[in-house]
Chain A
Amino acid sequence: MSENNADAGLPNGWQLVVGLEVHVELATKTKLFSASPNRFGDEPNTNIDPVTLGLPGALPVLNKFAVELAMRVGLALNCEVKPSTFHRKNYFYPDLSKAYQISQYDQPLNVDGFLDLPGGVRIGIERAHLEEDTGKSTHFGGNTGRIHGSDYSLIDFNRAGVPLVEIVSRPDIRTAEQARQYVSELRAILVAIGASDARMEEGSMRCDANVSVRKAGDPFGTRCEIKNVNSIKSLGRAIDYEARRQIDILESGGVIRQETRHWDDSDGRTHTLRTKEDADDYRYFLEPDLVPLAPSKEWVEAVRLALPMLPAARRERLASATGTSPESEAVFVVVERGQDDYVLAVGEVGGDLSRALVHVQQAYAEEPSEPRVPASDLAALTRMETAGQLTATQAKAVLADIVAAGGGDPATIAAAKGFEAMDTSEVEKMVDDAIAAQPDAWAKYLAGEEKAVGAIVGAVMKASKGKADGKVVTAIIQSRR
């Protein structure tokens, strides 16, 4: 794989260097180390137990399904699954009542993988480890409702102990667009393998960005960690802002201080998080209440074999079947909705695949991954188009009715709408009439002014009341040239 030298558009030869840390909540029924529910949106502090609250004597026991989902994540990201251990990450913050978070430190479960962006750029994955989520704090008083200046905070421990996988990329990302692509592709993979619903707006997927700048070829610069990025769009904005902030400091002779900064979506800036001294000194030590996790080779292989086809492979498959680019909008949209199997099924029952792809992209936005319309109905519609019995506009109208009704015979609906295919000789006469009626436009067209043909086509469409097939009309006009 060639070096990633994509240009972030920064001034004066500066190069952007980004690594991402993505936290995802795993789709288990219960928490990582205890049996209370892992459920979003419940009444505060109803999903709590002695382990979640860190009550004296409570002991954690690892959730087997969380381990399996974490392995799915690692394997889907081409990682090696390794024997691993758990550590205590010690800090005093009220969203963790134990005064430590159980995480994986120097022996994570998944290491050394990669994710290929749709454009082909490969981003290394350093690790993907298991850890527990924290509770949710809400800040009150002060004037902002944010942490800053609050008078007190209220804590809901429902989220505390929810299983997370933290996916750490290598600093291989060179543009904000690549960062967005990375998160978007990662999200698609996580959803496809059933590891997480990965909803950034609900916080089940959260993204921190390590951003630095350097002159191309120089060693890495000092990085800042950007937190509180809540959407893929904000991620791009935050990275662009932070890169320019750092360049301004460096170009005016300053130095970058390694620190954590907080993205504020409302003012479009990053702000220093003023933390207590030594806040990063976590005094990690092995969690004495947990034994090592060393999945057997058989277990790892079983998880690997059960992985579904990943989005990139599904896009390739759909693109090659429909004769489209794997990076086309239609292929992305249809695979993201999980409707690619349906498009392929339309082909299997004799439909035109490329027409089916476009129809599903345009008309099936509200349909589930298994659309209600039988594949045979859409296949029949595409056959009528191919045979010239329906224009593109008419086909759309017929399909809109079929989708609204959850199915229907396109020939019957077309007939009911009065969409009858026009005889070619009839269209030819209309074309000749239109040419005769607009000699000026025709002369310009003959003189090489391609745009002038629009007036002729328009006249034919008007005369046919929209029933003439635009492609047929164009072909006839060209034959008259």
Chain B
Amino acid sequence: MPATSDTPKGHQISAADVAKVARLARLDIDENKIEKFTHQLSDMLSHFADIDTLDLTSVEPMTQAYPLSNVLRDDTEMPCLNREEVLAVAPAAEDGRFRVPPIIGLD
């Protein structure tokens, strides 16, 4: 997360960054908690920033905690879930489908 211009001194991120991330994640955060989370997240980022100071040229980049790759399955069908059981626990269903609120609009 790049620091924005309104980032207070000593902070890796700003309150505005925290509010934006919360909005993207659909998290409803109280105004008074934003300052608290800004501190906590900045502390975490500072910790990772410490790693940047190390010489890691000899360390292989790692994308996974386990030394595994190519975990694959055969292209074979298995039984499906029962539609009526699944739809019965959905908030709303209609005509064999999940019913959801309207999404977006066009001009």
Q: Which residues of A contact B (CB under 8 A)?
A: 28-30, 35-37, 43-50, 53, 61-67, 83, 85, 90, 92-94, 137-139, 141-142, 146-157, 262, 271-276, 278, 281, 283, 286, 288, 290-295
Residue of A nearest to B78 (CB): A35
Residue of A nearest to B84 (CB): A45
Cβ contacts A to B, 8 pairs, < 8 Å? A30-B77, A50-B81, A61-B72, A66-B75, A94-B98, A154-B95, A291-B69, A293-B70
Tell me the smallest distance from the CB of B14 to a CB of chain A, in Å: 16
Q: How far is the CA of A49 from the CA of B97 in the complex (A)?
A: 15
Q: Do A35 and B77 form a contact, CB below 8 Å, given A45-B87, A45-B98, A278-B20?
A: yes
Most B C-beta atoms less than 10 A away, residue of A93, A138, A292, A294: A292
Tell me the smallest distance from the CB of A27 to a CB of chain B, in Å: 10
- Contact across chains for A146 and B106 when beta carbons are under 8 A apart: yes
Interface-lining segment among B5-13, B39-47, B60-68: B60-68
Q: What string of 1s and 0s marks CB contacts (under 8 Å) between B74-88 and chain A?
A: 111110110100110
- Contact across chains for B102 and A153 when beta carbons are under 8 A apart: yes
Residue of A nearest to B106 (CB): A148
A-B pair count, CB < 8 Å, reads 148
Q: How far is the CA of A290 from the CA of B98 in the complex (A)?
A: 28
Q: How far is the CA of A272 from the CA of B107 in the complex (A)?
A: 6
Residue of B nearest to A64 (CB): B72
Q: Do A37 and B77 form a contact, CB below 8 Å, given A64-B72, A278-B23, A291-B71?
A: yes
**B33 lies within 8 A of chain A by Cβ:** no
Q: Which secondary structure dominates where chain A touches chain B?
A: loop
- Contact across chains for A36 and B80 when beta carbons are under 8 A apart: yes
- Contact across chains for B69 and A48 when beta carbons are under 8 A apart: no
Residue in A49, A139, A151 whose CB lies within 8 Å of B80: A49
Known A-B contacts: A67-B72, A273-B106. Give 12 more (CB < 8 A).
A30-B78, A35-B73, A35-B78, A45-B87, A61-B72, A141-B102, A147-B103, A147-B105, A151-B102, A155-B99, A288-B64, A291-B68
- Contact across chains for A29 and B71 when beta carbons are under 8 A apart: no
Q: How far is the CA of A47 from the CA of B79 in the complex (A)?
A: 9
User: How many residues of B are counted as interface, with CB atoms below 8 angstroms from the partner's CB atoms?
Assistant: 39
- Which of chain B's residues have a CB closer than 8 A to the CB of A273? 104, 106
Q: Which secondary structure dominates where chain B touches chain A?
A: loop
- Which of chain A's residues have a CB closer than 8 A to the CB of B107? 271-272, 274
Q: Do A155 and B64 form a contact, CB below 8 Å, given A35-B73, A66-B75?
A: no
Q: How far is the CA of A152 from the CA of B70 in the complex (A)?
A: 41
- Contact across chains for B105 and A148 when beta carbons are under 8 A apart: yes
Q: Do A53 and B81 form a contact, CB below 8 Å, given A152-B99, A155-B100?
A: yes
Q: Which residues of B contact A (CB under 8 A)?
A: 20-21, 23-26, 63-64, 66, 68-78, 80-81, 83, 86-87, 94-107
Q: How far is the CA of A294 from the CA of B23 in the complex (A)?
A: 36
Q: How far is the CA of A432 from the CA of B89 in the complex (A)?
A: 91
Q: How far is the CA of A131 from the CA of B87 in the complex (A)?
A: 26
Tell me the smallest distance from the CB of B1 to a CB of chain A, in Å: 10
Q: How far is the CA of A66 from the CA of B97 in the complex (A)?
A: 27
Residue of B nearest to A282 (CB): B24
- Which of chain A's residues have a CB closer than 8 A to the CB of B75? 28-30, 63-66
Q: Do A149 and B78 form a contact, CB below 8 Å, given A62-B71, A292-B69?
A: no
- Contact across chains for A94 and B78 when beta carbons are under 8 A apart: no
- Which of chain A's residues have a CB closer than 8 A to the CB of B25? 90, 283
Q: How far is the CA of A85 from the CA of B73 in the complex (A)?
A: 17
- Contact across chains for A48 and B103 when beta carbons are under 8 A apart: no
- Which of chain B's residues have a CB closer than 8 A to the CB of A45? 83, 86-87, 96-98
Q: Do A36 and B77 form a contact, CB below 8 Å, given A53-B86, A272-B107?
A: yes
Q: How far is the CA of A152 from the CA of B99 in the complex (A)?
A: 7
